[in-house]
Amino acid sequence: MNPRKHAVKNRRKKVIPFSLDATFFFERAVQSLDRFHYDKALKYFRRAVEYEPNNPVNHCNMAGILSEMGRYEESNDILRTVLERVDPSMTECYYYLANNFANMEKYEEAEKALVQYLETDAEGQFLDEADELLELLRYELNRPTKLSTIKSKENVYAHDKARELLEAGHFAEAVRILEEIIERQPDFLAARNNLGLAYYYMGLFDKSIQTIQEVLDAEPGNLHALCNLAIFYQHSNKQEELRELLGLLMKTVPFHPEHVFKLSTTLGIVGKHAEAYRHFRRLLRTGELSGEPSLHHFAAVAAANIGRFDDAERHWQEAQRLDRDSDVPAFYLMKLAKMRTMEESPPLHYHYHLPFDEQFRKWADSPEMVPGALKQDPLIRSSFFWALRHGDRRTKAQVIQALGLVADDEVVEALKAFLIDPKEDDELKRVAVLVLRSIGLNESLYVMFGGRMVTLEAKRKAPRLPVWDSSWQAVLEKAMEQMAGRYDVVQQHDMMTLWVDYLSRVYPDVPKLSKSSGWAAALEYWTAKMHRQAITYTDLVARYEASQASISRYVNRIDEACGIREKMKQVLTIPQLPQLR
């Protein structure tokens, strides 16, 4: 065989084929850029655009080269083409435009483009550079730039707002915002953690556990989530799960003060007072939070629960020194002597407010303080929402009436949810209906009474009453007691509505209600008349043990205020219409 032909054949095998495509020209352009050969780089990027005209990255690369070369107008033309024709979602082009305009000293147009970038770009790739450009524009234009929002920080701002709402006790609104954040950004674990807390404050334990578990699925070591879950297990009586989780938490020694505080309060709430006190002392020794009266109160609670009453006294005295306006330290210092002799148990809750019974006793003397306390103190507010779902019957009745004094949208929604809960007591639901009507809620109410859903139709809107007086409640309860079994739910609701209507009309000149039985009998009398039921004074006298003269007098007083006879007369004299054929 001819050796020359063999050599030629071998050389042909070593030829490497290549194709001219966008990637080839992109790589050549990058090589030219590395050598600062901008003209060549521009030429190659143009060729890449020719091969892939719908690829916005190639266009942006070409615009970038033109900008580096000082050809800002040409660069802007390409950037506008990307935004208008190729890919409007390339919001970073607005930042490139702003940069070009700033280099051209067209500061008004630069500001307009930069605002558009910040308000539409979800990624925030150039946030730091945008901040520097904003500073330049503020200096050049001699005024700050107006921004409605920064899109890439939208969830962060919304989360801050939700936290403020949580701290203010507006849990339903916080839940709405946090749910929206998580829908937009499922991996925002801080928002998911706070959503679990918001559910907990509202008494929705199953949802709170599920939400916190989602955080731990994504980040098993999240201390806030682990602490929250321990508290949720405690209130859900999941003792086995709690025991396993506490084994982990009691071995944890966090460094950051916020984490130490979270762990110590959690251990205290679940009954591990000695471990809680050890962490509280660590916090107080560091000095960072030693000026917080609530921290000294928590340390005192933990100390009292492990029998260290001298330490507890010292901590409560320090809390009192730091917070002269609070009744909490003084209340527990007064109780301390009985704690020492075991006549009273130390407090088990780790909240910086008075116990429920004490708070209600205090408010009984000064009811005007209730709305302010519930609106301004999120701890009191959250404990009230919790007690509405999980307290005993007496506490729930007190909470329902106290919440009626606040009467904001969240309270109304909480009471409406209470009405449709089949597990709640029917008598408590009647109190809730009365409170809703007394604050002027004039809409149909849906109530689960006796296992069936009942619609209570809207009534005439009455002026809002002030604090609900116990003597008014006594009349209502007496009437409810005697009417039970004789009248259906709707008729009993009409009786309550009539009572609220009467009180609203005569307030503030409400007569003395020392004889609650007579007033209750008068309410049943008019309820029976309005529903065309037979009723006699003899029957009312026997059942209510009130004189006929008293009942008749109160019947007339209610009619004078509410005009019931006239209304019934108008109904009776409506002419009969002919039937349609």
Cα separation, 252 vs 262, in Å, equals 12
Cα separation, 377 vs 355, in Å, equals 14
pLDDT number for residue 467: 59
Polymer length in residues for the chain: 581
Local structure of residue 406 (DSSP, 8 states):
T
pLDDT number for residue 300: 93
Element housing 49 (H / E): helix 38-51
String of b and e for 105-140 (b: at least 16 CB within 10 Å)?
ebbeebbbbbbbbbbebeebebeeebeebbeebeee
Confidence tier at 315 by pLDDT (50, 70, 90) = very high
pLDDT number for residue 418: 85
CB-neighbour burial class of residue 546 (10 A; exposed 0-12, middle 13-18, buried 19+): buried
User: Which class does domain 173-344+352-358 fall in?
Assistant: mainly alpha
Both tokens assigned to 579: 């039937």
487 beta partners: 484
448 beta partners: 453
Cα separation, 397 vs 273, in Å, equals 32
Min mean pLDDT across 10-14, 284-288, 405-409 is at 10-14
Instruction: Taking residues 131-146, report their average pLDDT.
Output: 82
Cα–Cα nearest to 313, from 335, 341, 344, 287:
335
CB-neighbour burial class of residue 73 (10 A; exposed 0-12, middle 13-18, buried 19+): exposed
Give residues with Cβ within 8 angstroms of 68, minimum separation 6. 38
Confidence tier at 459 by pLDDT (50, 70, 90) = low
Residue 165, number of CB atoms within 10 A of its CB: 22
Cα separation, 125 vs 123, in Å, equals 6
Q: Are strands 452-456 and 445-449 parallel, antiparallel or unpaired?
A: antiparallel
Q: Under CATH, which number does the domain 469-573 receive?
A: 1.10.472.10
pLDDT number for residue 152: 60
Residue 83, number of CB atoms within 10 A of its CB: 17
- Please provide the DSSP assignment of 443-463 as one string: S-EEEEETTEEEEE---PPPP
Domain boundaries of the chain, sorted by first residue: 22-153, 173-344+352-358, 369-467, 469-573
Confidence tier at 458 by pLDDT (50, 70, 90) = low
Residue 314, number of CB atoms within 10 A of its CB: 15
Decide if 519 contacts 475 (C-beta within 8 A). yes
Decide if 114 contacts 137 (C-beta within 8 A). yes
pLDDT number for residue 566: 77
Cα separation, 291 vs 169, in Å, equals 24
Give residues with Cβ within 8 angstroms of 350, minimum separation 6. 265, 268, 269, 298, 301
Min mean pLDDT across 19-28, 41-50, 234-243, 452-461 is at 19-28
Residue 351 reports pLDDT greater than 60: yes
pLDDT number for residue 214: 92
Q: Under CATH, which number does the domain 22-153 receive?
A: 1.25.40.10
pLDDT number for residue 452: 81
Local structure of residue 421 (DSSP, 8 states):
-
* Fold agreement between 22-153 and 173-344+352-358: yes
**Single-letter code of the amino acid located at 285:** R
With DSSP H G I counted as helix, E B as strand and the rest as coil, what are the percentages for the chain, rounded to 5? 70, 0, 30
Decide if 222 contacts 192 (C-beta within 8 A). no
Condensed to tens digits (0 to 9), the pLDDT of residues 259-309 reads: 888 999 999 988 899 999 999 998 888 766 777 888 999 999 999 999 999
Any idea of the CA torsion for 494, 496, 498, 503, to the nearest 10 degrees? Answer: -170
pLDDT number for residue 7: 45
Cα separation, 187 vs 193, in Å, equals 11
Cα–Cα nearest to 493, from 533, 440, 535, 446:
446
Both tokens assigned to 69: 């070369």
Min mean pLDDT across 188-202, 259-273, 373-387 is at 373-387
Measure CA 70 to chain center.
52
pLDDT number for residue 264: 92
pLDDT number for residue 577: 31
**Residue indicated by tokens 């007083």:** 557
Cα separation, 514 vs 262, in Å, equals 51
Query: CB pairs under 8 A, 24+ apart, for 373-379?
Result: 374/169, 374/402, 374/403, 374/405, 374/406, 375/169, 375/406, 375/408, 377/169, 377/353, 378/166, 378/167, 378/168, 378/169, 379/351, 379/352, 379/353
pLDDT number for residue 579: 33
Give residues with Cβ within 8 angstroms of 505, minimum separation 6. 462, 561, 562
Min mean pLDDT across 305-319, 425-439, 456-470 is at 456-470
What are the helix and strand counts (H, E) for the chain? Answer: 31, 2
Cα separation, 389 vs 424, in Å, equals 8
Q: Ranked by mean pLDDT, which of 251-260, 274-283, 477-486 comes out on top?
A: 274-283
pLDDT number for residue 299: 93
